[in-house]
Structures are given as structure tokens and as C-alpha cells.
């Protein structure tokens, strides 16, 4: 899916269905953020912040990064409206520019499937992470019922693990945590969370 699509949908992105799915993801990610009060977190491909703005209290700071300005405008309005003091936004596409940022945790929810060169983005995110940091990826399991020219049809755990190891992650744990009806291009699908340690 190209970025224009996200620009066009930003103002109407937060549907009941997406908010419900974000809640499921939030619950799972919170389990990974215990004892993270002193950590900095980057939410890469944050969209409107549906998930990460609910994580602000668990970490020291959150930077929402997205390649859609309009998604970030919605996120900024929410940050102001909720009075969140430790969250900021940044417009960027790390597949096109090498970022000068560092973080203890990088979180990426339902973004990898939209990025054609998955190795490149994983490499960039690896470099952003401080030593001992972790990358949390939430995405869909491989789904052969789905075929789209611009979207990966999910990911196989073994292939993704291999790629993460090649990039340099010391260890990765991947587990499926949710099965839902019509959650991935109107098909029933399951989601995984990958915890990748640098
Ligand atoms: C399906 S939305 C997910 C939003 C959010 N992470 C969530 O779970 O609610 C995908 C987001 O990734 C962003 N995105 C897609 N490709 C990107 C890239 N190369 N760099 C940064 N953001 C990207 C889109 O603009 C969009 O906001």
C-alpha cells in the first residue's frame, strides 16, 4: 500500500474495528514493557498513535515516527488533547534516509507488511537501537488467502527469524497471540509478536 493511501485515510483511520484491534495489540505489547520506565521508545509507522499513545505511562519517552504527515497530525492532536507530556512526533521514512536517532525500544505494529524491502528497514531499526535494546514487531502470520501487489501476505516465523539473525539480532522469540475474523484484508487472520534482542 503506498503512502498516499495513508495520507488519504488519516482523518478516518480510527474506526471501531481498528480501535478494537489496537486494544488487543496494546494488551500484548504491555506485557513486553514491564520495567521499562527508564526506557525511550520509538513507534515506527505509528499512524495515529492508536497503540503507542496508550503506552506512554510505561516508558520514559515515546517518539511517533511515520511517513504520512496527516497521520502524524491526528496523533499530535491526540497528544495535546490527552495531555501526554512525554510523546512527540517525527515525519520520516527510514527506508529513504538514515536516521540520527537512538532508542532503547523500537515498536512496529502492522507496518512491516507495507514495506517492500523488509531487510533494509530491519537493518535501519537495528542501528537505531542502543546496545541491549529490543525491537518489538507486531504483524500478521503468513496467509495464503491474501495476495496484493503492494502488501506482504503476512510473515512466516522461521523466515523472519532468519532475517533478524542475519541483520544481527542476538535472539528472537516469535509467538502468535490472536486469531480474528476479517482482520487482514477482510480475511480471517492471526497476529504475532516478535521480541528481538540486540
Ligand atoms: C496499518 S498502519 C498502522 C498504524 C499503527 N502502527 C497501528 O498499529 O495502529 C501503517 C502505518 O505505517 C506507515 N508507513 C508505511 N510505510 C512506512 C515507511 N516506509 N516509513 C514510515 N511509516 C510508514 C503508514 O503511513 C501508516 O501510518
- Kindly state if the Cβ of 6 falls inside 6 Å of ligand 1: yes
pTM over 0.95? The answer is yes
HSE, CB side, 13 Å, CA atoms: give it for residue 60. 7
- Best residue among 6, 14, 76, 135 to mutate for probing ligand 1's pocket (most ligand atoms within 8 Å of CB) is 6
CA dist., res. 135 & res. 149, Å (int): 27
∠ CA(84), CA(68), CA(6), 5° rounding? 110
Mean pLDDT per segment of 10 residues, for the chain of length 198 residues? 74 93 98 97 98 98 97 97 97 93 98 97 98 98 93 98 98 98 96 98
Q: 130 CA to middle of ligand 1, Å? A: 23
The pLDDT of residue 6: 87
pLDDT at 3: 53
Please tell me if the CB atom of residue 45 comes closer than 6 angstroms to any atom of ligand 1.
Answer: yes
Contact 172, 165 (CB under 8 A): yes
| pLDDT of amino acid 88 | 98
Amino acid at each position: 500500500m503506498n503512502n498516499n493511501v495513508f495520507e488519504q485515510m488519516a482523518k478516518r483511520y480510527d474506526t471501531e474495528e481498528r480501535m478494537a484491534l489496537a486494544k488487543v495489540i496494546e494488551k500484548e505489547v504491555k506485557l513486553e514493557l514491564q520495567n521499562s520506565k527508564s526506557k525511550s521508545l520509538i513507534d515506527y509507522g505509528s499512524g495515529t498513535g492508536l497503540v503507542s499513545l496508550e503506552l506512554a505511562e510505561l516508558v520514559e519517552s515515546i517518539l511517533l515516527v511515520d511517513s504520512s504527515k496527516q497521520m502524524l497530525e491526528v496523533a499530535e492532536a491526540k497528544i495535546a488533547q490527552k495531555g501526554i507530556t512525554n510523546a512527540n512526533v517525527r515525519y520520516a521514512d527510514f527506508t529513504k534516509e538514515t536516521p540520527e536517532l537512538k532508542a532503547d525500544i523500537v515498536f512496529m505494529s502492522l507496518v512491516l507488511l507495507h514495506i517492500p524491502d523488509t531487510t533494509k528497514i530491519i537493518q535501519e531499526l537495528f542501528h537505531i537501537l542502543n546496545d541491549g535494546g529490543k525491537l518489538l514487531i507486531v504483524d500478521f502470520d503468513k496467509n495464503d488467502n491474501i495476495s496484493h501487489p503492494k502488501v506482504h501476505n503476512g510473515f512466516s516465523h522461521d523466515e523472519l527469524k532468519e532475517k533478524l539473525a542475519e541483520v544481527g539480532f542476538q535472539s528472537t522469540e516469535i509467538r502468535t497471540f490472536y486469531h480474528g475474523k476479517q482482520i487482514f484484508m477482510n480475511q480471517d487472520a492471526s497476529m504475532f509478536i516478535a521480541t528481538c534482542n540486540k
